[in-house]
């Protein structure tokens, strides 16, 4: 009964957070609403005794949303994505498409003849089998891809700093003579 209650609460909260992604008026709030939706979605996975997948969903989505927020702060003209903006375009078309997709998925879930057989017993080491099934011989490739992503994030942060890539103006932090923002005018 407790698991059912947690599932229902998380399902409702995930849907509410998903709706909030399109209802809030800034990119930053939409990012955190999406993060909340993913976390609430991971809890039912944990309830199914799939701890590895549940924790993986939480960690991956948290890092993904943090990276998105960092790049949003660095590169958006809208400071930190906090100024109001329209998050949905073509409201009527989006509503028609989303209702049609929901009806198709609901009809599929309700009309498909689900098997009545009992499931086979779970394997002795499901996490190990899942890791081997997902990665197989590609573990080294995924590790290198992770390092490349990390290097990309560090490079993006360094390129977005105020002094630029090579500290073009030397150790003098006051700025160049014609830069009004850094106090160079009127010296």
Average pLDDT value for residue range 87-111 = 89
- The answer to which of 43-57, 100-114, 137-151 has the lowest mean pLDDT is 137-151
Q: Which residues of 99-121 are buried (b: 16+ CB within 10 A; e: fewer)?
A: eeeeeeeeeeeeeeeeeeeeeee
Closest CA to 72 of 142, 157, 178: 157
Q: What is the pLDDT of residues 52-72, one digit of tens each?
A: 888 888 888 888 888 887 777
The pLDDT score that the predictor gives to residue 187 is: 46
Q: Cα(134)–Cα(50) distance, rounded to whole angstroms? A: 15
Q: What is the mean pLDDT of the chain?
A: 80
- What's the CA gap between 34 and 56, in Å, rounded? 16
For the chain, the structural domain boundaries read 1-85, 135-187
Q: Could you tell me which residue, 92 or 73, shows the higher pLDDT? A: 92
Compute the distance between CA of residue 42 and CA of residue 50 in angstroms, rounded to an integer: 10
Q: Reduced to 3 states, what is the DSSP secondary structure of residue 79? A: helix
């Amino acid at each position: 009964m407790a698991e059912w209650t947690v599932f229902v609460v998380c399902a409702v909260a995930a849907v509410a957070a998903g709706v909030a992604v399109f209802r809030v008026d800034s990119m930053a709030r939409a990012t955190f609403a999406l993060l909340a939706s993913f976390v609430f979605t991971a809890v039912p996975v944990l309830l199914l005794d799939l701890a590895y997948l549940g924790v993986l969903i939480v960690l991956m989505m948290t890092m993904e949303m943090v990276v998105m927020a960092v790049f949003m702060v660095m590169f958006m003209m809208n400071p930190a994505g906090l100024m109001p903006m329209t998050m949905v375009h073509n409201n009527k078309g989006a509503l028609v498409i989303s209702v049609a997709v929901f009806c198709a998925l609901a009809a599929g879930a309700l009309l498909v003849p689900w098997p009545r057989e009992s499931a086979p017993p779970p394997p002795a080491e499901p996490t190990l089998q899942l890791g081997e099934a997902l990665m197989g011989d590609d573990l080294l490739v995924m590790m290198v891809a992770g390092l490349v992503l990390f290097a990309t994030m560090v490079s993006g942060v360094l390129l977005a700093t105020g002094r630029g890539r090579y500290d073009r103006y030397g150790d003098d932090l006051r700025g160049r003579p014609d830069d009004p923002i850094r106090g160079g005018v009127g010296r």
